[in-house]
Structure 1
Amino acid sequence: MKTNHKVLYSSTLFFFFVTILIAQEVKTKDIDAIFSEWNTLEKPGMSVMVMKDDKIVYEKGFGSANLEYDIPITKNTVFHVASVSKQFTAFAVLLLEKDGKLSMDDDVRKYLPELPDYGKKITLRNLANHSSGLRDQWDLLRMSGIRLDDVITQEHILKLVNRQKSLNFDPNKRNMYSNTGFTLLAEVIEKVSGMSFADFTKKRIFEPLGMNNSEFYDDHQKIVANRAYSYKVRDKKFIKSTLSYATVGPTSLFTTAEDFGKWALNFQNPIVGDMSIIRKLNTRTKLIGGSETGYAMGQFVGTYRGIEVVVHSGSDAGYKAYFARIPSHNLSIAVFSNLSTIDPVDQVFTIANLFLEGKFPKQDASKKEEIVVHDPSMFIKLSQKQLSKFLGEYWEVDEKYKRKVLLKNDTLVYYRNEKSETRLVPTDKNKFKMMKDPNDVDVVFEKNDQGIKIMKVSINDRKPIKFVAFGNVNLNEYLGTYQSKELGTSYRITIKKGKLTLEHQRIRDIHFDPINKNLFVSKKRAIQELKFLRNKRGKVIGFKASNNRVKNLVFKN
């Protein structure tokens, strides 16, 4: 009997495509299930895009783009994606470098000479990978009394940045997230291209990719069709969360899930730019000394369950966004939301799990963490009186957390919480080893030049972690009005409810807890730390204010 190979081939091909379609239908239902609670016009929601193997395999909207008019979110709903914007700004600068118009190693003052001269070269690369040391614009605005739902313009930010006298650190010494760098990159792009940043990105990125519903929003009064409005929750009810930015570079990209699919595809098969630009965009920052950070240009590069991922989040007002690329599996996922309480990170990786099931590297669970064993001959005996000098509460200066040193059964104990404490055994009068730890940890007690007790914890000969001891204070010696020339504003220090309190006419009072006579801390984001300055007679003459992204901004009375 003669076999009809054409029929067999056609049948095989038919079943192959049917299998793919069934598998895809299963994944579609699984993704739908992740967002099922948002499939209603009674709530804000999100728009979702999944790209796999150079194809957009999922685009869908859930919830309401506008609660006042019951407008549903679709794949074409326009979202403000906040800091996800940064990768476009970095990409735009790299396009100009490819054109021969600039170099990422150029000094930013070559293009923006009006910027303060800090005596250190700050390169465009430093701006793009958060190693510039520049104070963050949003935190400077908060400290100056500006609310982030005020109208904030590019000019407003640049005037504030140009008044700064100091950096958080020397360029390329550290990695600290700074939106300021991306505002300056947008300004450089305008100077070099002769076009507005919004026009340049439209001409060089959005139009060639067919991202017809994407733009950098540089006018807070501009009307945008199909825009999602943002919301937050108060007293279990949805309320408006206003955003009036007229500033671009680190934020203000308006885009859609459908458009973002085209951006995701460009990383695999570039229409705009080329693979050399994409490699530069993905390259992690190397600091002075050779250490590598997790930040590339406008993107974080890390791992998820053993697989490399390239990601960035965004959060402004009630808008939340998250974009993840998993290059080794040609998978990209974007989730954009218009509600501040939604966490798109979990949703993105829940989707990723559906596509990567069975493809994660196996973890070796058999390896046990070994503890460091010390030579007993290095230890000495100290009396209870000698050990008691080190007791008390200590504050970690950089990461801002508390530790205690206790005495139990004639032994010092490093106390983290009820479930985590470690014995300290002396090797000298003020030096100790942590016992039964997987690392070699030294703990040294000293006094600083103000006579305040400090504790230094060194792990495997790395740079010591510095703690300062808590101490008693007299709140009355700090009262007064303090001025910052860099912010163009002043604060008054008073005492309210037994706490040192910063008052400002534009923002809520900030209450501080004392660590010692020179250091106070708060839980508020605007100003988290006050380090007081004194003259030779010990009188308070000012303070240095810090938060997560602004360090040691000086106020004088």
Structure 2
Amino acid sequence: MKIYISFVYLFFSTIAFTQNAQISKIDSIVNSKIGNSDPALFVGVVKDGKIIYQKAKGVLSLQHNVKATVNSVSNIASTAKQFTALMILKLSIEEKLDLEDDIRKYLPSFYPNVKEKIRIRHLLNHTSGIRDFYDLMSIQQNPWWRREGLDNKDALELLEKQEDLGFKPGSRYMYSNSGYTILTKIIEEASGEEFHKYSKNFFENMGMKSTQFLEDYMYVIPNQSLPYSDWGDGVWQQYPMITNLFGDGFLFTSIKDQMVFEQAVQNANYNNNRLLIESQQPIKNSEIKTYGFGLELENRLYRKAVHHSGGTGSYHSQMVRFPDDKLTVFVMSSNSKIWSGYIADEIAKEFLSPAKIQKKYDEELNEALALTSNEIVGQYKSEGEYLIRIIKKNNALFWRNGNNNPIELIKETNTIYRKKRSPKNKVGFFEDKMISFYDNGKTYKYEKIAYEKPTLADLESYEGHYFSRELDVEFELFLNDKYELYISRDEWKKDRKVEVLNRNELLVNDYILKIERDQFNRVTEILLTTNRVLNNRFIKKSNLKFQPKIKTENGSINVTTIGSRKGNSSQILLTKNYENGNEIWSQQFGGKSYDKASSILATDDGYLIIGSTSSYGKGNYDMFVIKTDKKGKKVWQNTYGGFYNEYGYSAEKTKNGYIIKGTIQNCTSNSDVFNRTCTTNVWFVTIDKKGKELSNKVLEEIEI
């Protein structure tokens, strides 16, 4: 019996000694990161269902030297997403909503043009295709952190203007804060309570009495840790936080509250807590298994892990759970000179036994081909439409992602390369693709795309003004006198040079511009991709400028409008002139009323005159087109339009005829001219070579 008691005593003494050593080591790690008078750092550890460590170091306010405690609160940014997701899961368990519900059940005005279902679970794990509103605001050149008082209502109003998605729901993963902002509104609709009231009760029931989502940045939050940054000059500056956002982040919590929650998560199976058990698993029916209820589910430190990080301004946090080891580490700080993620991993390693790492690359690495550098050079595109260029410089190969600095590829064998300073990342090349390999078996595949060198005509076709209705943003592409492409925006002090990657893709800063064309191979749209937003649609504004003159070998052809002596009519005058302006010949066209010329287009066998007429046609003014031979003799004429006013401005050749560009008018009444409302839209009419109308298209509304 004495032997047994001695063994038990020795066993628990050993555990206590080991744990004390681990706690001492954590203290050393914490003390090595900041000083007692630096902005605060908070650390907590739960092991085997018990809170074994919680500590605060540093100060809440540098101005007043207020010491941080375990009851002090800090902003954990995106690590808060798990709690918004928990509220959704709770409402699902209570059958107040279904994760398969289309979000438009709760927000019917959102994305009316999207036919596919955008399910609640798509928002939870970032597979919805909804673009990140922070990056949308950056495209507007008015980033979120500048907008004093910016709140969820503002973000939702911007998202409500979006007409389409970056990709089909469920087809891929793209982290987007927008999903969690929308979830706060769904919580309100499903629960019948305002979000802050609902979340307050939720946290109180969890025993987290110091935890709350931001409501107003001007409100006093007791025991708040203020955010500070040192931009490298040794001077601390308080980071201004002037927005009122919540749900995707902006949760203020204490390390004490987080330890209460993490203890509950570790003991969820023992307590049969369905909510917490399900929250740690992949979402049912999900297309991906690597992200769940506001949580990343990929391995960390070569172990099964559930984790998430967050960062906004000078605030940052890291939560990591190792379920098989019954270990959780939580770190948060208001000090931008350190990073919670590194600290959390460093602490976790003190508790984890050395991992049995099986470094194994995918077998396809052995199938890479021994290609020459010239065969390797080119452009490669990922499944997510990201463009990677392999370039050659001074006989060395480089990997270049967008406008990022090129990374040299070091040749290890005849078939295998690695990125410089990333020895674990191997790259193999194949006949029509390249693959990036990692020692955990992961691969990223890139398809090689055929390079289409843009012609001068292509460069000229890019020129024009492009507009996004969804963002109320416009830019212009233009060529300088050296035929270099530039982009201009009113918000920019200086125009920026555009890199032409190939015929269909342009690059400027971190913007990828994808060219979209119509059936006549004309540039009609540009899809802009940057960061967490894909395929923002910018429509090319129609060019309705007059083109009344074309050059010939020894002069010019001109078209103009001439009025009658009495001023009650006008006709179209076509003239051929020498270089000095003297007339070679002339022709007149028109009827008894007003006929007006806008442009002339050279054809293979003559000329096409575009204008408007009230002498012929159905309405007040109709679009008017006259075809002549090379001597100006009329071959045919035709009108296009209805009851109101249609005007012709210019024309373009097509394979089978022409597109006539102009405008079309529509009014609410044919007779009440004083009270009716009229609108004018851009109008394209497609005709064959004999003037027969093939189709027409009404485009954007314009102001006259």
Aligned to 1:31, the other structure's residue is in SS state helix
* TM superposition shift of 1:441: 6.1
Structure 1: where are the runs of 5+ without partners? 425-436, 445-455
Q: 1:540 to 1:238 in 2, by over 3 A?
A: farther
Q: How does 1:240-255 map to 2 (within 5 A)?
A: 240-255=238-253
Q: Find the counterpart in structure 2 of residue 402 from structure 1.
A: 389
* TM superposition shift of 1:470: 7.8
Distance 1:114 1:366 in 2: 49
Deviations 1:246-305 (A, max 9, x none): 2222111111111100111121234999543334322335888xx644111200012234
Q: Find the counterpart in structure 2 of residue 88 from structure 1.
A: 83
Distance 2:140 2:68 in 1: 37
Distance 1:406 1:39 in 2: 44
Q: 1:531 aligns with which of 484, 498, 514?
A: 514
Distance 2:207 2:14 in 1: 32
Q: 1:253 to 1:494 in 2, by over 3 A?
A: farther
Deviations 1:350-396 (A, max 9, x none): 111111135x3x2357999796469x9xx9xx9x9xx97x6854253
Aligned to 1:308, the other structure's residue is in SS state coil
Using the TM superposition, name which of 247-256 and 482-491 deviates more.
482-491
Q: Find the counterpart in structure 1 of residue 72 from structure 2.
A: 77
Q: How does 1:153-172 map to 2 (within 5 A)?
A: 153-172=151-170
Q: 2:348 aligns with which of 348, 352, 372?
A: 352
Distance 2:127 2:34 in 1: 42
Specify the code of the residue in structure 2 equivalent to 1:230: P
Q: Find the counterpart in structure 2 of residue 43 from structure 1.
A: 38
Q: Find the counterpart in structure 1 of residue 529 from structure 2.
A: 546
Distance 1:536 1:483 in 2: 21
Q: How does 1:102-501 map to 2 (within 5 A)?
A: 102-117=97-112, 118-149=114-145, 150-151=147-148, 152-204=150-202, 206-236=203-233, 237-270=235-268, 275-284=273-282, 292-358=288-354, 360=355, 362-364=356-358, 372=366, 392-396=377-381, 398-404=385-391, 416=399, 417-420=408-411, 442-444=430-432, 456-457=433-434, 465-467=447-449, 469=451, 471=453, 478=462, 481-493=465-477, 500-501=486-487
Mapped contact 1:41–1:71 kept (Cα < 8 A) = no
Mapped contact 2:486–2:495 kept (Cα < 8 A) = no
Deviations 1:301-322 (A, max 9, x none): 1223442100001011111111
Specify the code of the residue in structure 1 equivalent to 2:475: Y
Deviations 1:108-162 (A, max 9, x none): 1111112122111111111111111111121112112222212321111111111
Distance 1:282 1:541 in 2: 46
Mapped contact 1:494–1:503 kept (Cα < 8 A) = no
Using the TM superposition, name which of 90-99 and 494-503 deviates more.
494-503
Mapped contact 1:369–1:438 kept (Cα < 8 A) = no
Mapped contact 1:50–1:58 kept (Cα < 8 A) = yes
Deviations 1:54-81 (A, max 9, x none): 1111111222322222223322221111
Distance 1:335 1:284 in 2: 24
Distance 2:426 2:76 in 1: 42
Q: Find the counterpart in structure 2 of residue 429 from structure 1.
A: none
Aligned to 1:91, the other structure's residue is in SS state helix
Distance 1:66 1:128 in 2: 35
Q: Structure 1-normalised TM-score? A: 0.79
Q: 1:514 aligns with which of 494, 500, 520?
A: 500
Deviations 1:299-350 (A, max 9, x none): 0012234421000010111111110111112111111111334221121111
| Structure with the largest fraction of strand | 2
Aligned to 2:107, the other structure's residue is in SS state coil
Distance 1:67 1:48 in 2: 20
Distance 2:53 2:199 in 1: 26
Q: 1:26 to 1:423 in 2, by over 3 A?
A: closer
Mapped contact 2:515–2:525 kept (Cα < 8 A) = yes
Q: Find the counterpart in structure 2 of residue 447 from structure 1.
A: none
Q: Find the counterpart in structure 2 of residue 434 from structure 1.
A: none
Mapped contact 1:302–1:310 kept (Cα < 8 A) = yes
Using the TM superposition, name which of 395-404 and 226-235 deviates more.
395-404
* TM superposition shift of 1:96: 0.8
Q: Structure 2-normalised TM-score? A: 0.64
* TM superposition shift of 1:92: 0.4
Specify the code of the residue in structure 2 equivalent to 1:36: N
Q: Find the counterpart in structure 2 of residue 503 from structure 1.
A: 489
Aligned to 1:307, the other structure's residue is in SS state coil
Distance 1:499 1:240 in 2: 41
Q: 1:469 to 1:159 in 2, by over 3 A?
A: same
Distance 1:297 1:201 in 2: 16
Aligned to 2:44, the other structure's residue is in SS state strand
Distance 2:311 2:240 in 1: 13
Aligned to 1:356, the other structure's residue is in SS state coil
* TM superposition shift of 1:462: 9.8
* TM superposition shift of 1:25: 2.5
Q: 1:196 to 1:272 in 2, by over 3 A?
A: farther
Distance 1:471 1:287 in 2: 44
Distance 2:359 2:102 in 1: 48
Alignment root-mean-square deviation, CA: 4.0
Q: 2:50 aligns with which of 38, 55, 68?
A: 55
Specify the code of the residue in structure 2 equivalent to 1:419: I
Specify the code of the residue in structure 1 equivalent to 2:451: A
Deviations 1:150-178 (A, max 9, x none): 23211111111111111111111111111
Aligned to 2:431, the other structure's residue is in SS state strand
* TM superposition shift of 1:52: 0.8
Deviations 1:494-543 (A, max 9, x none): 7899773453528997664331343222444xxx2112345677665542
Specify the code of the residue in structure 1 equivalent to 2:410: K
Q: Find the counterpart in structure 2 of residue 29 from structure 1.
A: 24
Deviations 1:414-436 (A, max 9, x none): 86534138868xxxxxxxxxxxx
Structure 2: where are the runs of 5+ without partners? 400-407, 416-424, 438-442, 542-704
* TM superposition shift of 1:37: 3.5
Distance 2:497 2:338 in 1: 29
Specify the code of the residue in structure 1 equivalent to 2:536: L
Specify the code of the residue in structure 1 equivalent to 2:193: M
Q: Find the counterpart in structure 1 of residue 548 from structure 2.
A: none
* TM superposition shift of 1:8: 7.4
* TM superposition shift of 1:32: 1.5
Specify the code of the residue in structure 2 equivalent to 1:104: L
Distance 1:210 1:92 in 2: 15
Q: 1:470 to 1:336 in 2, by over 3 A?
A: farther
Aligned to 1:394, the other structure's residue is in SS state strand
Specify the code of the residue in structure 2 equivalent to 1:171: P
Distance 2:410 2:525 in 1: 40
* TM superposition shift of 1:212: 1.2
Q: Which has the higher contact order (CA 8 A, sep 6+)?
A: 1
> Between Structure 1 and Structure 2, how many residues are aligned?
508
Using the TM superposition, name which of 464-473 and 179-188 deviates more.
464-473
| Structure with the largest fraction of helix | 1
Aligned to 1:226, the other structure's residue is in SS state coil
Distance 1:391 1:17 in 2: 62
